Amino acid sequence: MVALLIFLPAGTFYYPRGWLLCAILFIPMLFLGAVLLLKSPELLRKRLDTKEKETAQKAVVALSALGFICGFVTAGLDFRFGWSRVSAPTVTLAAVLFLLGYAMYAEVMRENAYLSRTVKVQQGQTVIDTGLYGIVRHPMYAATLVMFLSMPLVLGSWYSFAVFLHYPVVIAVRIHNEEKVLTARLAGYSEYKKKVKYRLIPFIW
């Protein structure tokens, strides 16, 4: 679907930066998925569960998906019609940042066996406050913020980058609701919030 959303609006498969994004997005994903399948199939199952039960989160997920679709289509159209230019060094830097975000994402998954794609408190779940969780309360979202804001620049589109700026807003709304759920249902989370003051970005928010 990602490939269709990129290459169909571009009107060609000769979109090198589109192939670059597909490579850095899906090759690590395949590797990480294989590792989880072998080492932690239960965590993989949680990561594949996308059925949100919180009403507020359903709206957040829908808005996020719509934003991604518009962002990818915009990048393809930008390449097709030459609306904007992103320099090669910027594209390279964005690709490096994307991979660093991926590495951070993998580390979060290693630290937190309760990491689900949906907002919920699981049986036996405890507060994780070590590693990246000792710096910000939502390191997974911090990792995705780096990754998703890098993607449009990897694709070489400033217009797409403008569309992807919806993501920080969506994540802020998601975190606000998620913390309400965790504070109400997860023992020790209120104390954790006092210990780790920043939600997403150290010294900022």
For residue 21, the Cα-to-chain-centroid distance in whole angstroms is: 14
Question: Whole-model pTM above 0.75?
Answer: yes
Residues 35, 105: contact at Cβ < 8 Å? no
Token pair listed for 110: 């290693």
Residues 201, 142: contact at Cβ < 8 Å? yes
What is the structure's pLDDT at 97?
96
Cβ neighbours of residue 60 closer than 8 Å, sequence gap 6 or more: 170, 173, 174, 177
Task: Report the alpha-carbon distance of residue 156 to residue 6 in Å, rounded.
Answer: 12
pLDDT single digits (tens) 23-45? 999 998 888 777 777 777 766 66
What is the structure's pLDDT at 126?
79
What is the structure's pLDDT at 153?
97
Write down the architecture of domain 2-195 according to CATH.
Answer: Up-down Bundle (1.20)
Share of the chain above pLDDT 90, in %: 42
Q: Rounded mean pLDDT of 46-60? A: 63
Q: Rounded mean pLDDT of 96-110? A: 89
Question: Over the Cα atoms of the chain, what is R_g?
Answer: 18
Residues 131, 89: contact at Cβ < 8 Å? no
Cβ neighbours of residue 110 closer than 8 Å, sequence gap 6 or more: none
Residues 193, 200: contact at Cβ < 8 Å? no
Average pLDDT of every residue of the chain: 85
Q: Rounded mean pLDDT of 64-90? A: 94
What is the structure's pLDDT at 49?
57
Task: Report the alpha-carbon distance of residue 161 to residue 91 in Å, rounded.
Answer: 12
